[in-house]
Amino acid sequence: MLGKEYKQVIVVRTDIQMSKGKLAVQVAHASVIAAFIAYKEYRKWFDKWWDTGQKKVALKGGDEKNLLAIADQALRSDLPVGIVRDAGLTELPPGTLTAIAIGPAPADKIDRITGRLKLL
């Protein structure tokens, strides 16, 4: 019998223009922030995710309002959430919300929130 699946989902703004490099860095920031939160506050989930290959999925999130609503729903569901706002040193104005990450956590808990979103 297979064990429970653990993953992390990164949801990216799709209503703003970012170069591929900028996008990659914003996804990485979100992933690391959420993983550190999970490491400190959801250690069992983090360890299971780590031991099973650190599955990550990148999804299209729409605009800032939608990303904030997704993040709020995840926080209310007691999931680790990382929120990235750009420093504004290169392509975007300071404070621009670019991405959020949810998890690592059980995949079924994350899917209840993000299951309707399309792959990036």
Separation of CA 98 from chain center: 11
Q: Is 18 exposed, middle or buried (0-12, 13-18, 19+ CB in 10 A)?
A: buried
Burial 75-103 (b: 16+ CB within 10 A, else e): eeeebbbbbbebeeeeebeeebbbbbbbb
In a domain, 80, yes or no: yes
**Domain count across the chain:** 1
Residue 37 lies in a domain: yes
Query: pLDDT by residue (tens digit) across 23-33?
Result: 999 999 999 99
Question: How is residue 13 written in tokens?
Answer: 């703004």
pLDDT confidence of residue 1: 38
120 in any annotated domain: no
Mean pLDDT for 10-16 is 98
Rounded average pLDDT over 21-47? 98
pLDDT(8) > 70: yes
CATH number at residue 63: 3.40.1490.10
Domain carrying residue 51: 6-114
Q: Is residue 1 part of a domain?
A: no
Residue 55, in any domain of the structure: yes
Q: Flag whether 23 is in a domain.
A: yes
Q: 47-100: per-residue pLDDT in tens?
A: 999 999 999 999 999 999 999 999 999 999 999 999 999 999 999 999 999 999
